[in-house]
Amino acid sequence: MEKALQEYAIIVAGGTGSRMQHSLPKQFIELAGKPILMHTIERFHTYNPDIRIVVVLPEDQLQVWRSLCKQHKFAVFHMAVLGGKTRFGSVKNGLAAVQGEALVAVHDGVRPFVSTGIIKAAFEQAAESGAAVVAVSPKDSIRELTDNGSRAVPRTRYRLVQTPQCFKASLLREAYEQPEQEYFTDDASVVEQLGAGIALVEGSYSNIKITTPEDLLLAEVLVKQFEEMP
């Protein structure tokens, strides 16, 4: 029987509080009594207590994070590493902490409502196909901008990308050896540049990325629901 690969979660938390109109970086804003980032880490630990968690933070936030962990007596073991100047650089730095062949999930630090079921499905699909991305169908109609204005496009042909995005470590390492490009908007776009296919895994509309005050209001409602989830 083939041995299961070690699972890693690289949690990228390099945001500021600008769009949130808050003095704190958004990942450190408290939600139900503790920073958003702690909720996110706990989702992956709940999914698999043996997962190796790598949190990527800007240099000026590392000490703040250590102080918050001490203040909140946060006991989930994780490694905190220095981020890069861009998201691409931050993921690359986090990837350096991954040992050998493994399955790696890259996740936004301010997506604290990912379910353990979605994490499991993404890892399983990555183990099978090498690359798996969580996504949902658009709820609204979509229009494409054209030289003459805009035109309607069928939304059934489009998906809204979320995280986690899961990959075999060897594939992700090869992808991040490429020079950074401006069209690398997420990990899937980096991996796709190698010619690799990307499998989609059904996400959830609850798996929001908290970036604005409106998101934070919704998060206050969602956190009560997730406190009762496995």
Q: Which domains occur in the chain, in start order? A: 7-226 (3.90.550.10)
Half-sphere exposure (CA, 13 Å, Cβ side) for 87? Answer: 19
Distance CA 167, CA 103 (A): 6
Chain-wide mean pLDDT for the chain?
A: 94
Distance CA 184, CA 94 (A): 17
CA distances from 65 to 24, 108, 193, 194, 207 (A): 11, 16, 34, 35, 23
85 has pLDDT over 60 = yes
pLDDT at 1: 52
- Phi and psi torsions of 65, nearest 5°: -65, -45
Half-sphere exposure (CA, 13 Å, Cβ side) for 40? Answer: 33
For Cα atoms 163, 199, 47, give the angle at the middle one, nearest 5 degrees: 45
Secondary structure (H, E, C), 41-95: HHHHHHHCCCCEEEEEECHHHHHHHHHHHHHCCCCCCCEEEECCCCHHHHHHHHH
In one-letter notation, the amino acid at residue 71 is Q
- Look at 10-24, 93-107, 191-205 and tell me which has the smallest mean pLDDT: 10-24
Q: What is the dihedral of CA 129, 197, 141, 147, to 10 degrees?
A: 170
CB 10 within 8 A of CB 95: yes
- Average pLDDT estimate for 118-128: 98
Q: How many CB atoms lie within 10 A of CB 94?
A: 25
Find tokens 């493994």 and name the residue: 102
- Look at 15-24, 41-50, 117-126, 218-227 and tell me which has the smallest mean pLDDT: 15-24
What is the value of pTM for the model shown?
0.94
pLDDT at 14: 80
Distance CA 88, CA 217 (A): 29
